[in-house]
Amino acid sequence: MVWILISLVVAALFAPLVTRLAGRSCGRVLALVPAAACAWFATRIPAVAAGERLVEPVAWAPSLGVSADLALDGLSLVFALLVTGIGALTMVYARGYIGNDPRLGRLNATLLVFMTAMLGLVLSDDLVTAFVFWELTSVSSYLLVGYDHANPKARAAALQALLITGAGGLCLLCGVILIGSVGGTYSVAELVASGDVLRESSLYLPILLLVLGGCFTKSAQLPFHFWLPGAMAAPTPVSAYLHSATMVKAGVYLLARLSPALGGTDEWLALLVSFGAATMVYSAVVAFFQTDMKRILAYTSVSALGTLVMLLGIGTADAAAAATAYLIVHALYKCALFHVAGIVDHECGTRDVDRLGRLSRAMPITCVAACLAVLSMAGLPPFLGASAKSLVGHAEHALHMGPVEWAAMLTVLMTFAVGALLVWRTFFGRRDGEDLPKHPHEAPIDLWFSPLLLGSLGLVLGFFWGPLAHHLLEPAAAAIAPGVAPELHVHATAGAYALKAALAAVGLALYVKRRPVVRALRLWSVLAWFGPERFYDRGLVAIEWVARAVTRRLQSGSLRTYLAIVLASTMVLAGYPLLKNGVPLPPSGSFDIRVHEAAIVLAMVLATVFVMATSSRLAAIAALGIVGAGMSVTFLFFGAPDLAKTQLAIETLSVLLFLFILYRLPPLRQLSTRLQVWRDVVLSITVGGFFALLVWGLTSVDGASRLSPFFAENSLALGKGHNVVNVILVDFRGIDTMGEITVLAVAALGVLGLMRVHVRERSAS
């Protein structure tokens, strides 16, 4: 499995090159990699169905308890098949859809990176590794949504998706860390095996909320759902792959994965079922009011995600199997429908359902694919959708909760209405006179191939329900809700059929009366003003406002402001611990001074005073040199010959440098008013007094370093040097010195750069 991930990364690296070389067939060439991966995963089906759990240990950071172990069980296998299978179809479709755009290479590469991340997420056994892949899917999604980067709307949508899933990612990270500290391991398998450790911990509720924060944002649950319709700014292949079939299901995946360790409690049931059911019914209704095919599909995807979250909340083995079945069915038909929407957009120039109609004659193959997909979506037998929906219905019914059943029925009803709107209206409906931007005609094979295949799969798999249930659903359900075998035999009663027929009739009636219904409910759109999206927009504006205000205050461009902030913070932060136990007094006997020391100190002080007072540049530089030399001598008196030497050398260089620059600068001028001078005198004395106190405080404690004896002992033994200071610099703390050299090099480059600017300007003039 590691090799699959590696080969996908390699494919991503070479994707731009392949795209350029292979031209028209680049999609088909690149699709070979995920297709091969899909085939490999398919060969593992029998082993996994037999109850095996394939593990590939990969060491990452064993000292931190973090591994990159990969594991393949029933749940991972279903996701892996979807990610690689639909991924391969997406690569083909993307070439057909994007055409000969020069950015296609980048798109292909990013898609493959995303594929790697998603596959890594569903295969990793370790939560930390899974989190890394999780974030990688967010980042690649950002790049893919913002593919059309010249379009400000696409950029805003990409940022919105990134910010919301990123915020959720932070929640998830906190949750993962809490899980690790409570459960003592990051390995999912071990967490599941440890039973009730997490559920009985006092931190259970915070953990649950944090994990749900991550999963709900990623899987677009209310109230975070709005980023998903926004993300439809992405090119259609991306929407189909990321925002319907795979990435948005990452949250569902993680919930399913953690359900044996976290699930089964009242909180779990209440939160997941309520949020899931609310999302399911709300989005199903909202979808009906959209006219953009992609937005309709986006809202139905959100609705499906809500259904999945609700099923995981129910948490029984039956519900787990129903969730898996629905997951597969949804991925097949929704991806096909997205691809159909892309074809319609591509060939007609619009995807507004109100402008489309009567396309069945112009694009028959696409029409067949769309019909296959939508019938599976509606859950009509013998399509796979029928069996899946029947399982879902049973699981909901078993919950014995009135509101949930009502919500489920309303959702089914709306599904019929939306399905009719999507396919009947587009392909068979009346076109309102108006001409389409393009003359509709059938799409090339690259485009219709994948929706036709996916749609047919929905039909064919419907006939192989038994093997499918045994080979995929049972193992996956066993990973989500271990211990109990799910009831997978679909037995539809006449009552169920009658109910479904009634719902279908109402749904279709709703479709027929769509215009009046939409008009009657238009007032509801006022509600959008109070919706979470507005909250997001306002929040963004507020954050920018605060950032701008803070920047304006802190980064005023005035040196004095910077100094004031830095020194005030230093004085407050260091002053509190310093003065907590009273003003530090100079240690006794620390005022002894010898004549030569007094002379040097006095010389330094006088020179400094002179520097401040003089208006002659040359005199100031000379006096500065005296201060530096005084420093050097002080170092020498107190046992630091290396410091003395360095200081002297540096001081000489400094004086030379000052002299070079000196006559290119104006003379020293007195610019401040007298009041300003006095203000600065007072401030300076405060600062100076504080630092003198600080040094007193520091010297009155036992300043003997606990590190120094180590250096003294080991300088010769380990560092092979007699001069301890030098050994510290080049050996024990060599990396510090490395940083120091880097600073010098950067400063030198800066100096050079500034000088060159000057030279160029002069030669230009």
The residue type at 638: F
Give buried/exposed letters for 450-464 (b at 16+ CB in 10 A, else e): bbbbbbbbbbebbee
**What is the phi/psi pair of residue 187, to 5°?**
-75, 125
Q: How far is the CB of 702 from other proteins (least distance, A)?
A: 9
- Nearest CB to other proteins, comparing residues 449 and 711: 711
Q: Give the Cα separation of 383 and 290 in Å (integer).
A: 27
Q: List CB contacts of 415: < 8 A, sequence separation 6 or more.
A: 284, 300, 303, 377, 378, 379, 507
Q: How far is the CB of 281 from other proteins (least distance, A)?
A: 56
Q: Are 249 and 122 in contact (CB under 8 A)?
A: no
Q: How far is the CB of 183 from other proteins (least distance, A)?
A: 42
Q: Are 447 and 93 in contact (CB under 8 A)?
A: yes
Q: How far is the CB of 558 from other proteins (least distance, A)?
A: 5
Helix (H, G, I), strand (E, B) or coil at 59: strand
> DSSP character for 430?
P
- Nearest CB to other proteins, comparing residues 541 and 745: 745
- Nearest CB to other proteins, comparing residues 371 and 687: 687
Chain centroid, CA 527 distance in Å:
29
- Nearest CB to other proteins, comparing residues 551 and 676: 676
Q: How far is the CB of 761 from other proteins (least distance, A)?
A: 9
The residue type at 322: A
Q: Give the Cα separation of 513 and 286 in Å (integer).
A: 16
- Nearest CB to other proteins, comparing residues 50 and 583: 583
End-to-end CA distance of the chain: 64
- Nearest CB to other proteins, comparing residues 512 and 563: 563
- Nearest CB to other proteins, comparing residues 361 and 758: 758
How many residues are recorded in the chain? 765
Q: How far is the CB of 550 from other proteins (least distance, A)?
A: 14
Q: Taking Cα atoms as reference points, which of 10, 81, 84 lies closest to residue 48?
A: 81
Pairing state between β 66-67 and 59-61: antiparallel
∠ CA 282-301-241, nearest 5°, is 160
- Nearest CB to other proteins, comparing residues 541 and 751: 751
Q: Give the Cα separation of 309 and 254 in Å (integer).
A: 11
Q: Taking Cα atoms as reference points, which of 326, 325, 376, 367 lies closest to residue 343?
A: 367
Q: How far is the CB of 580 from other proteins (least distance, A)?
A: 18
- Nearest CB to other proteins, comparing residues 525 and 676: 676
Q: How far is the CB of 543 from other proteins (least distance, A)?
A: 24
- Nearest CB to other proteins, comparing residues 528 and 695: 695
Q: How far is the CB of 63 from other proteins (least distance, A)?
A: 29
Q: Are 117 and 136 in contact (CB under 8 A)?
A: yes
Q: How far is the CB of 581 from other proteins (least distance, A)?
A: 18
Q: How far is the CB of 559 from other proteins (least distance, A)?
A: 6
Give the DSSP per-residue string, 236-279. HHHHHIIIIISTTHHHHHHHHHHHHHH-SSHHHHHHHHHHHHHH
- Nearest CB to other proteins, comparing residues 193 and 668: 668
Q: Are 342 and 350 in contact (CB under 8 A)?
A: no
Q: How far is the CB of 575 from other proteins (least distance, A)?
A: 14
Q: Give the Cα separation of 414 and 420 in Å (integer).
A: 10
∠ CA 274-421-154, nearest 5°, is 70
- Nearest CB to other proteins, comparing residues 321 and 600: 600
Q: Taking Cα atoms as reference points, which of 141, 86, 88 lies closest to residue 117?
A: 141
